[in-house]
């Protein structure tokens, strides 16, 4: 346990110019007194950990000390080679850089772990694009990827409605969702350092210009957190109508697979108690009555629409046509 903690401490100090005792204690989940003892143990073992006192003090490695990768276990080495997404790297123009990095890491591994890249590649593969759609690489992606890595502002023209809009953007991050690329960027922050974060679908860009000017990145920006909030907000924004349905036990289990997951989660959270037959009545938010008809049809006889009356009539008419069609035999 302590050996693993000492290795992690060295790697943390190796990745940053300096860290305070409080920062190390938080990362290592120990007390600052334990950090002091660990730093002393590393120093006695020949690792040049240097402690500076005072307001600007902290712990640092001196003399350009670097540790090798010989401490990697097999599972860690294999997981390392699972972290890349080959298709995405190729589309961003980073395939050569990623290949060189993997080669360097492979060369640094112990001989017993040299087969880790092959072992991982033979067992796992990520196919990001959705089914039944030919993936296309947006022309602006490579330029945006470079700007994201280097914190450089861009001027973008993109389609909005029937026209085009031009904006100066601070590109913070790229997201690949079901084969579609999105840019998370800050607008209006070049001068003030503030601005608004927005999401853009990259295949709607019709022009991109690298302005070469660098922006000051907000270090508190959390790309996964921002994307998660945006995705859920978008999902909720298109659910503009409501239907009341009765569901059997089987219908309740199938609901999250038939409708939008956000809508299903909200509906199930506010559902009433089961009746004597075990059926539950709930209110479901949907994109439209037409969309609701297509989604709830998949539940068959495990769902009954209570309202609106127009949707209920649509199901009744369809049920009549089905009965007539199959009753001919």
Q: What whole-number distance in Å separates Cα of residue 16 and Cα of residue 74?
A: 26
In tens, the pLDDT along 292-314 reads 999 999 999 999 999 999 999 99
In the structure, what pLDDT confidence band is assigned to residue 247 with cuts at 50, 70 and 90?
very high
Burial class (CB in 10 A: 0-12, 13-18, 19+), 212: exposed
* pLDDT on residue 329: 58
* pLDDT on residue 10: 85
Cα pseudo-dihedral 110, 114, 117, 118, rounded to 10: -160
Residue 3 CB coordination number (10 Å): 8
In the structure, what pLDDT confidence band is assigned to residue 52 with cuts at 50, 70 and 90?
confident
In tens, the pLDDT along 2-14 reads 777 888 888 888 8
251: pLDDT strictly greater than 70: yes
Instruction: Return the percentage of the chain with pLDDT > 70, whole number.
Output: 82
124: pLDDT strictly greater than 80: no
pTM: 0.60
* pLDDT on residue 5: 84
Mind giving me the DSSP string for 222-281? -HHHHHHHHHHHHHHHT--EEEEEEE-HHHHHHHHHHS-HHHHHHHHHT-----TTS-EE
In tens, the pLDDT along 197-231 reads 999 999 999 999 999 899 988 888 889 899 988 88
* pLDDT on residue 4: 77
* pLDDT on residue 34: 92
In the structure, what pLDDT confidence band is assigned to residue 107 with cuts at 50, 70 and 90?
low
Residues, the chain: 329
């Amino acid at each position: 346990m302590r050996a693993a903690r000492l290795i992690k401490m060295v790697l943390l100090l190796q990745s940053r110019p300096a860290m305070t005792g409080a920062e190390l204690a938080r990362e290592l989940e120990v007390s600052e007194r334990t950090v002091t003892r660990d730093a002393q143990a590393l120093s006695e073992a020949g690792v040049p950990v240097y402690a500076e006192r005072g307001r600007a003090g902290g712990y640092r490695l001196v003399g350009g000390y670097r540790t090798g990768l010989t401490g990697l276990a097999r599972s860690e080495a294999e997981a390392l080679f699972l972290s890349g997404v080959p298709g995405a790297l190729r589309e961003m123009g980073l395939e050569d850089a990623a290949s060189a990095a993997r080669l360097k890491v492979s060369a640094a591994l112990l001989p017993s772990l040299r087969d880790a890249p092959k072992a991982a590649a033979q067992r796992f593969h990520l196919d990001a694009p959705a089914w039944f759609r030919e993936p296309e690489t947006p022309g602006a992606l490579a330029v945006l990827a470079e700007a994201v890595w280097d914190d450089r502002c861009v001027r973008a023209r993109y389609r909005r409605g029937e026209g085009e809009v031009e904006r100066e953007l601070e590109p913070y991050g790229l997201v690949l969702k079901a084969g579609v690329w999105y840019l998370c960027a800050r607008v209006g922050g070049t001068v003030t350092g503030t601005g608004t974060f927005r999401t853009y679908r990259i295949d709607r860009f019709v022009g991109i210009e690298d302005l070469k000017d660098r922006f000051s990145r907000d270090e508190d920006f959390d790309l996964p957190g921002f994307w998660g909030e945006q995705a859920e907000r978008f999902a909720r924004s298109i659910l503009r109508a409501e239907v009341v349905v009765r569901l059997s036990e089987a219908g309740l289990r199938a609901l999250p697979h038939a409708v939008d997951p956000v809508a299903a989660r909200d509906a199930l959270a506010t559902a009433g108690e089961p009746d004597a037959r075990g059926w539950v009545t709930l209110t479901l938010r949907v994109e439209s009555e037409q969309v609701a008809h297509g989604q709830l049809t998949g539940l068959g006889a495990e769902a009954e629409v209570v309202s609106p009356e127009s949707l209920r009539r649509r199901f009744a008419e369809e049920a009549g046509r089905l009965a007539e069609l199959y009753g001919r035999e």
